[in-house]
Every structure is written in structure tokens, then in C-alpha cells.
Amino acid sequence: MPEPTTLLLFAGAAVALLVVPGPSVIYIVTRGIHQGRAAALVSVLGVTTATMVHTVFAAAGLSAILASSAVAFSIVKYAGSAYLVYLAVRTWLDRSDERIERLRPTADLRRVYLEGFVVNLLNPKTALFILALLPQFVDPVRGAAGPQILLLGGILASLGLLSDGAYALASGSIGSWLRRRRSIAGIQRRVSAAIYAALGIGTALVGERR
């Protein structure tokens, strides 16, 4: 186990990085505005679960394969991009928010959780971020690297849960305010779809040279 001072330094570095909105935060905020606070919070749980899976991969050395293999990196990257574009198309075609007056679009929370999980799991930048950050705080003198990486990943996921949760609550409140204005519903849906599409295209374009 790393020393307490190392854990504090890691927590400080993690917070500094987490407060800057990234693709996962944009995804969560978009979900909250479009489908409400519950959907946003469940998306946070899905994203956090995927973060822990990436941590396990890093501890097992699988993320190193992703970092060193251009083919593996491209497969994961394009799969994640395609999934985000799929979400964009589905959101664009969903007109339930225009048919139901003053009610937010219903959300299957199990599906929402799974989608948040898949979006973050298929984000190779998350895997590379964890692989780059966590080993910097591992102390070989204090034991095997694997358990230390799992501990650091747990801290990162817990801090991310709090940070992303705050974004989810805020976006859910904004979405509730917007849904009280029925004329905005269609615009809100199209904007959400456009953001999903932009995230998907951005995922496909970023990282051609690593």
C-alpha cells in the first residue's frame, strides 16, 4: 500500500484532472439535460464501473497491450465512436418528448447504466489515462504493483463518482427547467443528438498519432 502522503498527492492530482470536463462529463450532462437527474446519475454509475474495469485491466497489464498495439487501439476507438453515433441517431429519431406534454422522456435505467458503461469502456483514452497516471504513484518498495494500482483506481473512481455526480445533479436541474418549456423539447433532443454525434466523431478523429 502506498504511503498516506502519496495517496494524498494522488487524490489531489486526480481532483485537479477530474474537475476539468472531459468526454464522459459531456456525455453525463447531455444525458441529464435530455432525460433527467435519475438518468444522469445512473450514467455516472455506468461510467464509474467502466473506470474500475479499466483499472483492473491496468493492474493485469492488458492496458499496456492497448497502448502498444495500433490495431487494438483503433478497434476500441472506432467501436466506441460507432456506439456514440448510434446513440445520436436513436436520440434524434426519438420523438417521445414532443408527444408527452410537460413530462420528461421516460428512461430505461438499466439501459442507461449499460450505455454509460459501454461508452466509457470503449473509450481508449480512459484506458491510456489510467495506465499513464496510476503507475506514477506506485511504490515498488511497498509491495506488488497490482494491488496498489487497484487501490489507486478505487480512489480515482470514488472521486470521479462525486465529481460526475455533481455534474449529473446540475444537468438534471437544468433539464427539468427546460422541459417546462414544451417548445424547447424538440430543440433539446436535437442538440443532445448532435452532442453524441460530435463525441463519436471526435473519438474517431483523436489519437491518430499517439
- pLDDT, one tens digit per residue, over 78-106 is 877 787 788 788 777 766 555 444 444 45
**The pLDDT of residue 193:** 76
**Is the predicted pLDDT of residue 110 greater than 60, yes or no?**
yes
Is residue 166 included in any domain, yes or no?
yes
**Is the predicted pLDDT of residue 209 greater than 80, yes or no?**
no
Is residue 126 included in any domain, yes or no?
yes
User: Please, what is the average pLDDT of the chain?
Assistant: 80
Per-residue buried b or exposed e for 101-133, using 16+ beta carbons within 10 Å of the residue's own CB: eeebbebebeebbebbbbbbbbbbbbbbbbbeb
**The pLDDT of residue 115:** 92
Mean of pLDDT values over 105-117 = 83
Total structural domains within the chain: 1
Is residue 16 included in any domain, yes or no?
no
Mean of pLDDT values over 96-117 = 69
Closest alpha carbon to 107 in 170, 32, 192, 163: 32
Is residue 173 included in any domain, yes or no?
yes
Range of the domain at 35: 4-9+23-205
**Is the predicted pLDDT of residue 189 greater than 60, yes or no?**
yes
pTM, to two decimals: 0.76
What's the CA angle centered on 42, arms 73 and 58, to 5 degrees?
A: 30
Is residue 181 included in any domain, yes or no?
yes
